[in-house]
Amino acid sequence: MPGINFFEYARDEDIVEGISSFGICDDPGELPAFISHNRDNHTWVATVSNPGRKRIQFLPVDKHIPLKRQDGRTDSKRCDAMLLTYPVHTRETIVFIELKDVKQSAWEAARRHAIDQLKETIEFFLEYHQLVSYKKRLAYVANRRHPHANRAYTSDIQKFRSDYRITLKFSAEIVFE
């Protein structure tokens, strides 16, 4: 099967165990998104709620997994991170995440771009992996400045579900169940 094995880029230090809540951060610059357990030390763009205290594999994507367009020269659009039930071979839950930190006036363009980033990442993921085997498949667009979408975006959600069989959500609180 051609493509990139995303799981080869998973790191042991990004496994979360026994924690009911943690943050996902994405500082400006060339470093990938990362997890934080303390709001005082980092700015959380999204909060992960883990009520069942499941074991979670955090996987940074942007600036971590080398995804190139077919021309081989330009970087592809990609989401910031993924969350998976650990160990990843259990294929219980998968979550694709795009982080944003934009004002309301810039939200429409950022929202459309975020959806494109999620789609392109999913397309790359599908070149090597199968999504159908995951019991729960979610994608989140998380905007730190506006943590809860003030519109339903029903047509985007329905199209995303139809195209990828993944539930798209607009919220900075990511519920991992």
Q: Are strands 34-36 and 21-25 parallel, antiparallel or unpaired?
A: antiparallel
Domain ranges of the chain: 6-175
The pLDDT tens digits for 89-137 are 899 999 999 999 999 889 889 999 999 999 999 999 999 999 999 999 9
* pLDDT score, position 72: 61
Mean pLDDT value across the chain: 92
Distance between CA atoms of residues 158 and 42, nearest Å = 34
Mean pLDDT of 27-47: 93
The pTM of the full predicted model, rounded to 2 decimals, is 0.94
